Amino acid sequence: MIDGSESTRFTPPRDRRGFALIAVLIVMVVLGLIGSAALSLTAGDQKVTRLFADANQADAAATAGLEHAIAVYQTNGTFPLSGTINGYAYTVTLRRDSFNFDGVGGAGPVHLASNGTLNDSGNGNPVVILTSTATKGSYKAVQTMRVAKGTLSVDIDAALTANASITLTGNISVDGRNHTLGGSLIDGTNTANTGACAENKPAVVLTDSLDFVSAGGSSDLYCNPVYNVGNPPCVAKRPNIVYVSPEDVLGLHPGDLDALIVEGDDYVAPDTIGGLVYVDGDYGSGAAGGNNVSGTGILIVHNPLYNPREHDPLDPSYNAAKASNPAVYGPRNLGNINGGTFRGLIIADKIDKINGNIGIFGAVVSLSEIDVTKVGAGTADIKYSCAALQAAGGSFPVPPTRLSWAAD
Amino acid sequence: MDRRGFTLIEMLVAMVIVGIMGIALVGFLRAQHQTVVRQNTGVLATQNARAAVDMLARELRNAGYSPRGTVSGAHLTTIDGDSVGWTSDMNADGDTLDSSTGKWDERVAYYVQGSSLMRAASGGTGAPVTDNVDSLRFAFFDGAGAATADPAVVEQIRIRLYYSTPEGVQNGLIESQVAVRNNIYAN
């Protein structure tokens, strides 16, 4: 017979099952607590990381918007401007900046003068405020930049600038006094000579002190009265300025204009220049029968590999190897241009003839060191004109000037 | 007989076992709790340090903001290995005297005092931005990427904030680099 009491004392299944359940529950609760704590930590970390990522992505999109807006502003595009980059949207608005700089009157539209100062008297290009907004998640990035359109500053100090001796023949007139865009003399007696654009200048500036002007025939030189000395008069020597390239003349960085070069062999000279024309080859050659040059802008006849200083034996930069290889490194020739009316700036390595009845209002610069530069014959006019030079500079797009930047 | 219950010895043995298990469990829980607390502190310290560097970097980007062209010369007024100060004209009124112009002040400096990152605005005394800071290191670079001590030519600033929790469980470095755009642009 089985003893019931003994069987109860040993391993009663129900009691042990109950205790095991409690133990399992306790362990589960503990593990659950640990798990949830770890989870909340991770979740918090993730959220922080996401917020930082959102902020950075929104910032980057807003910056992209500003860059887009600057390019659009230069080309007179429309605002507000919207766009997306990598799926992040931005919106850029434009408004004119207004401030009272001189304390006189009220606030006026802010302008950036060519000397880099801000004013509310209308001097220079207007300043606009571009505000770029981009949103990512809960983060909104706002960036602001003030910009003014860029203008190429064409600053030439004579009607004719050359790095070589000049022979004037025929009835040519080289006039350094300031003229209107139409070629009318403004005030020939004004002796102001501070270097500002709208002043009377010398007729000719020579950048090599050993060079000279030979004024033959019935050629005429006119200038600011302070330069009206010597024989021939109106010639100033400035050996401290030697232009080596069109970029040098225009105050740009070397190579800035390379993208605009038209190969000489492929170039069919148009009679009318518009904007900036850069020919890597001879132009208006006499052999081709001459050319009229009309229009407004900047005409460049230059070999980008040509540096006049490397061809001048007296210059420290003289390079005999290059000087003896004119096919590759030699100057390009502005040949016989003999008709039309051109307003702006002509930059040529070497000038053969400015001839016939051509009228040039603005300035002419010859880079070459070669002493054969002849300007003359016919009744050609070269008249210095600040207005024409400024108009020529305005025809060439340069990136807007960035003035100030802020972010929320 | 079935209802007689446990013997005393059974009870004692069971209580001892339960006691041992309980003590082990409490110890385990305490250790876990301490770990959680320490990790929390560490995470918090990291987040605070990151937020502080982000705040400093964002504010520093506006250094030299001068829409009226009146903040002349060096826009960064202090460039030091362990502090930075600058002026800006955030409300575009032509001076750099205002405090809290909407969101920003116009004269700001960041430095470390004790174990706190301090921010001083408009020439006033500093207020702590975050604690647990071991050190703050700045490096200043010009446009060519070379280290410079001239505030006028600084274009990039590298910020390094070293931090650690009081228990020393968590220590680390938050690094950021800022382009000081207004030192590059015209005004």
Q: How far apart are CA A13 and CA A245, in angstroms?
A: 104
Chain B closest CA to A156's CA: distance in Å?
24
Q: Does A403 touch chain B (CB under 8 A)?
A: yes
> Which residue intervals of A77-235 are DSSP H helices?
none
- Going by C-alpha positions, the residue among A209, A212, A238, A162 that lies closest to residue A314 is A209
Taking 70 as the threshold, does the pLDDT of residue A9 lie above it? no
Residue B157 in contact with residue B138, Cβ under 8 Å? yes
Could you tell me which chain A residue has the CA closest to the CA of B34? A34
Residue type, A319: N
Taking 90 as the threshold, does the pLDDT of residue A165 lie above it? no
- Three-class HEC string of A349-388: CEEEEECCCCEEEEEEEECCCCCCCEEECCCCEEEECHHH
The whole-number pLDDT of residue B79 equals: 80
Test A30 with B28 for CB contact under 8 angstroms.
yes
Mean per-residue pLDDT, A211-236: 89
Laid out side by side, the sheet with A374-376 consists of A213-215, A166-169, A374-376
Per-residue pLDDT tens digits for B120-139: 988 788 899 998 899 999 99
Mean per-residue pLDDT over chain A, rounded: 85
Chain A closest CA to B143's CA: distance in Å?
16
Q: Residue B4 — φ and ψ, nearest 5°?
A: -70, -20
The whole-number pLDDT of residue A289 equals: 45
The whole-number pLDDT of residue B105 equals: 85
The whole-number pLDDT of residue A288 equals: 44
- Token pair of A64, please? 């992209």
Q: Does B32 touch chain A (CB under 8 A)?
A: yes
With cut-offs at 50, 70 and 90, classify the pLDDT of residue A307: very high
Chain B closest CA to A348's CA: distance in Å?
33
* Cα A114 → chain centroid: 13
DSSP state of B39: H
Q: How far apart are CA B187 and CA B170, in angstroms?
A: 43
Test B32 with A34 for CB contact under 8 angstroms.
yes
- Considering only CB atoms, B40 lies closest to which of A30, A34, A41, namely A41
Mean per-residue pLDDT, A388-399: 82
Residue B42 in contact with residue A43, Cβ under 8 Å? no
Q: How far apart are CA B70 and CA B88, in angstroms?
A: 9
| Chain A hits for B68, Cβ within 8 Å | 99, 101, 118
Test A26 with B61 for CB contact under 8 angstroms.
no
Q: Does A406 touch chain B (CB under 8 A)?
A: yes
| Chain A hits for B62, Cβ within 8 Å | 405-407
Query: Greater confidence, A168 or B100?
Result: A168
Per-residue pLDDT tens digits for A279-305: 888 887 644 445 788 888 999 999 999
DSSP E strands, B6-104: 76-79, 83-87
Q: Does A401 touch chain B (CB under 8 A)?
A: yes
Chain A closest CA to B185's CA: distance in Å?
5
Q: How far apart are CA A345 and CA A324, in angstroms?
A: 30
Taking 70 as the threshold, does the pLDDT of residue A14 lie above it? no
For tokens 């021939």, what's the residue?
A232
Q: Does A241 touch chain B (CB under 8 A)?
A: no
Interface test with A, best of B68, B106, B170 (most A CBs within 10 A): B68
DSSP A94-121: EEE-EE-SSSSSS-EE-EE-TTS-EESS
Q: Is A313 helix (H, G, I), strand (E, B) or coil?
A: coil
Q: How far apart are CA A290 and CA A285, in angstroms?
A: 6
Q: Does B16 touch chain A (CB under 8 A)?
A: no
Q: Does B72 touch chain A (CB under 8 A)?
A: no
Q: Tell me: ipTM over 0.85.
A: no
Chain A closest CA to B92's CA: distance in Å?
9
Q: Does A25 touch chain B (CB under 8 A)?
A: no
| Chain B hits for A44, Cβ within 8 Å | 43, 47
Residue A220 in contact with residue A173, Cβ under 8 Å? yes
Test A408 with B103 for CB contact under 8 angstroms.
yes
With cut-offs at 50, 70 and 90, classify the pLDDT of residue A388: very high
Q: Does A30 touch chain B (CB under 8 A)?
A: yes
Q: Does A116 touch chain B (CB under 8 A)?
A: yes
Could you tell me which chain A residue has the CA closest to the CA of B45? A45
Residue type, B11: M
Taking 50 as the threshold, does the pLDDT of residue A2 lie above it? no
Taking 90 as the threshold, does the pLDDT of residue A185 lie above it? yes
Test B67 with A97 for CB contact under 8 angstroms.
yes
Q: How far apart are CA A12 and CA A5, in angstroms?
A: 11
Q: Is A167 helix (H, G, I), strand (E, B) or coil?
A: strand
For tokens 């299944």, what's the residue?
A13
Q: Does A5 touch chain B (CB under 8 A)?
A: yes
Q: Does A34 touch chain B (CB under 8 A)?
A: yes
With cut-offs at 50, 70 and 90, classify the pLDDT of residue A314: confident
With cut-offs at 50, 70 and 90, classify the pLDDT of residue A11: low
Provide the whole-model pTM.
0.67
CA angle A336, A341, A342 (to 5 degrees): 85
- Token pair of A92, please? 């850029």
B112: β partners: B117
Test A404 with B187 for CB contact under 8 angstroms.
yes
- Token pair of A68, please? 């887009």
Per-residue pLDDT of chain B (187 residues; tens, 9 = 90+): 556 677 888 889 999 999 999 999 999 989 988 888 888 888 888 888 988 999 999 999 988 888 888 876 557 887 888 889 998 888 888 888 887 776 778 889 999 999 899 999 887 888 999 988 999 999 999 889 899 888 888 889 999 999 988 776 678 899 999 998 888 776 5
Residues 6+ apart with CB under 8 A from A395: A274, A275, A276, A296, A297, A298, A344
**Angle, in degrees to the nearest 10, between helices A13-74 and B8-60:** 0
Query: Greater confidence, A151 or B108?
Result: B108
Chain A closest CA to B159's CA: distance in Å?
17
Per-residue pLDDT tens digits for A71-103: 889 878 889 999 998 889 999 999 999 999 888
Test A403 with B94 for CB contact under 8 angstroms.
no
For residue A165, how many other CB atoms are within 10 A of its CB? 18
Test B68 with A23 for CB contact under 8 angstroms.
no
Q: Is B162 helix (H, G, I), strand (E, B) or coil?
A: strand
Query: Greater confidence, A305 or A274?
Result: A305
Test A403 with B68 for CB contact under 8 angstroms.
no
- Token pair of A175, please? 């006039």
Taking 60 as the threshold, does the pLDDT of residue A134 lie above it? yes
The pairing of strands A118-119 and A359-366 is unpaired
Chain B closest CA to A259's CA: distance in Å?
25
- Considering only CB atoms, B182 lies closest to which of A9, A44, A404, namely A404
Residues 6+ apart with CB under 8 A from A216: A167, A168, A169, A376
CB pairs under 8 A between A and B: 75
Per-residue pLDDT tens digits for A336-382: 787 889 999 999 998 888 878 889 999 999 998 776 566 766 788 89
| Chain A hits for B1, Cβ within 8 Å | 4-5, 8
Q: Is A144 helix (H, G, I), strand (E, B) or coil?
A: strand
Taking 50 as the threshold, does the pLDDT of residue A7 lie above it? no
Burial class (CB in 10 A: 0-12, 13-18, 19+), A28: exposed
Residue A54 in contact with residue A137, Cβ under 8 Å? yes
Residue B159 in contact with residue B177, Cβ under 8 Å? yes
